[in-house]
Amino acid sequence: MLDDFFTRALVAGIGVALVAGPLGCFIIWRRLAYFGDTLAHSALLGVALAFLFQLNLTISVFLVCALISLLLLGLQRRATISSDALLGLLSHSALAIGLVCLAFMSWVRVDLMGFLFGDILAVSKTDIAIIYAGGLITLGLLAVIWKSLFASTVNYELAEAEGLKPEVANTIFMLLMATVIAISMKIIGVLLITALLIIPAATARRLASGPEQMAVMAAASGCLAVVGGLFGSLEWDTPTGPSIVVVALLLFILSFAPIKHLVRYRSSAQKGAADG
Amino acid sequence: MSSLLTLQNAGLYRDGKWLVRGVDLSIRKGEIITLIGPNGSGKSTTAKLALGIRRPSEGTAQRQENLRVGYVPQKLSIDWTLPLSVERLMRLTGSLSAASMDAALDRTGVLHLKKAQVQNLSGGEFQRVLMARAIARQPDLLVLDEPVQGVDYSGEIALYELIADIRKELDCGVLLISHDLHIVMAATDSVVCLNGHVCCQGSPSAVAQSSAYQQLFGPRTQSALAVYEHNHDHTHLPDGRVMHADGSITEHCHKHDGHHHAEEARNA
């Protein structure tokens, strides 16, 4: 089954969306969209280093992203400039260094577009294994730190005062972000990873009434976007990343339709009928 | 009896100045301590030192091991992006049985809001929910940073009565921070007045003894509120210098000064 490139892309994409949804919720709750972008842009440096040192691409990207996020944590503590300026600095420097490195390695033929926008043809069986292994570890760890992370999202000091360990949870969360960016790069592309994190979560926010529910809905809506986007990409020969993001956006727009009201109206009408 | 927490000569230094310095404070089981002081006097900072959210730059802060804390922070704004119901907020830092959740919400008078989204609550309602959340944990130590802000007057009395009841019931220590410099909760065992350092410390006198307050607030307040008489021997001038009882003016407080606020003197 996995011999078909399209099936491989579907399986891989769904794996990515399942992880991106719940993490994306935290990105929205904590207003970290720009942080996601920074990590994603620095992924290109990971790509360059992978070619330079003959490393596995995903692992190399993960290492660079993890390094950048820990660097950010450290710099924020002794910040003389604001964190958004710091993020911009790291983000674009890493992207630029990555592009310069790639240009120097003239012996490497790189499909830059593939890395920037995702490539449906690039997904191998090994990639699927890495995506699912990384994804399972990420979701597992997220489940473990969920209570601390969510409590510290609501109020850091409250979480700390009542004996949770928000600092540990925050550091782990940064590493999980690095993982998700590393595993989703081939499917969605460096430039659009943040969209896959944010848009499904934003869609879920319109419908969910609790944080856990929102995480599940974000994962589900991400999966729908991946499936729709991949079929569109195949049908119209468009790059996969943008296609997925367009479908995610359509779902978001759809979430503005009065679905919730309809459900409420129907259930209250039924209640009314039962009472009468 | 051993203390739940002890601050010894604790101080916090940030960005070139001491937010608070030389605080000695200990809370035992079943004891209510009220921290008062003007804005920026270091009340919340002292609470954070006590809770271990901030590490003291000098002195020590010790807490009993495995101390179960219920905390109501001074400011808690919940972002609109967070879908959060009262019910879920109650379970924020620990699991909770449905029965004890309902009981806690009922005690603070907000059981009917259980299913509501927290963003739709009024300031006073939200404060009551936070209070319910803190007591539902059955804490060893309750730390309440201005818990009655935004609560109407009769609600304030009821919450103070509730705090006194909870103290009896759980035999927990209570660290209460109040913005009111003169009226404190009657059940308070000890009042600590801060202005960058401990200015004075003592127990409140009952409202019953002060007919002026009785006339002002009515007989019902007798049980819940009390007057705290400051006994200071120096005055903080608006420019940060300090005038002592003998008329001398210095840049800072003497180490063991009692205390008087210039602003209060003007308002009185």
pLDDT digits (tens, 9 = 90+) for A120-159: 777 888 889 989 999 999 999 999 999 999 999 999 889 9
Q: Which domains does chain B have, with CATH numbers?
A: 1-68+139-231 (3.40.50.300), 76-138 (no CATH), 233-268 (no CATH)
Domain positions in chain A are 5-275
Which of A32-41, A139-148, A264-273, B74-83 is the least confident region? Answer: A264-273
Q: Find the Cα–Cα–Cα–Cα dihedral A122, A128, A129, A134, rounded to 10°.
A: 100
- Residues of chain B with a CB closer than 8 angstroms to some CB in chain A: 48, 51-53, 68-71, 73, 76, 78-79, 81-85, 88-89, 92-94, 117, 137, 143
Is residue B250 classed as helix, strand or coil in its secondary structure?
Answer: strand
Q: What is the distance in angstroms between the Cα of A158 and the nearest Cα belonging to chain B?
A: 6
Interface test with B, best of A148, A157, A255 (most B CBs within 10 A): A157
Q: What is the topology classification, in CATH, of domain A5-275?
A: ABC transporter involved in vitamin B12 uptake, BtuC (1.10.3470)
- Closest partner residue to A157 among B48, B82, B92, by Cβ? B48
Tell me the per-residue pLDDT of A185-242, one tens digit each, with 9 for 90 and over: 888 888 788 899 999 999 999 889 899 999 999 999 999 999 999 999 888 988 888 9
Q: Count residue pairs from A and B with Cβ separation < 8 A.
A: 67
Q: pTM score, two decimals?
A: 0.82
Tell me the per-residue pLDDT of B206-233, one tens digit each, with 9 for 90 and over: 554 555 555 655 655 556 777 776 666 6
Contact B79 A209 (CB under 8 A): no
Residue B195 has pLDDT above 90, yes or no: no
Tell me the per-residue pLDDT of B63-103, one tens digit each, with 9 for 90 and over: 888 889 999 988 888 888 899 999 999 999 888 889 999 99
Residue appearing with tokens 């925050």: A170
What pLDDT, on a 0 to 100 scale, did the predictor assign at position B265? Answer: 40
> What whole-number distance in Å separates Cα of residue B20 and Cα of residue A273?
64
> Between helices A166-188 and A5-29, what is the axis angle to 10°?
150
**Is B152 within 8 Å of B144 (Cβ atoms)?**
no
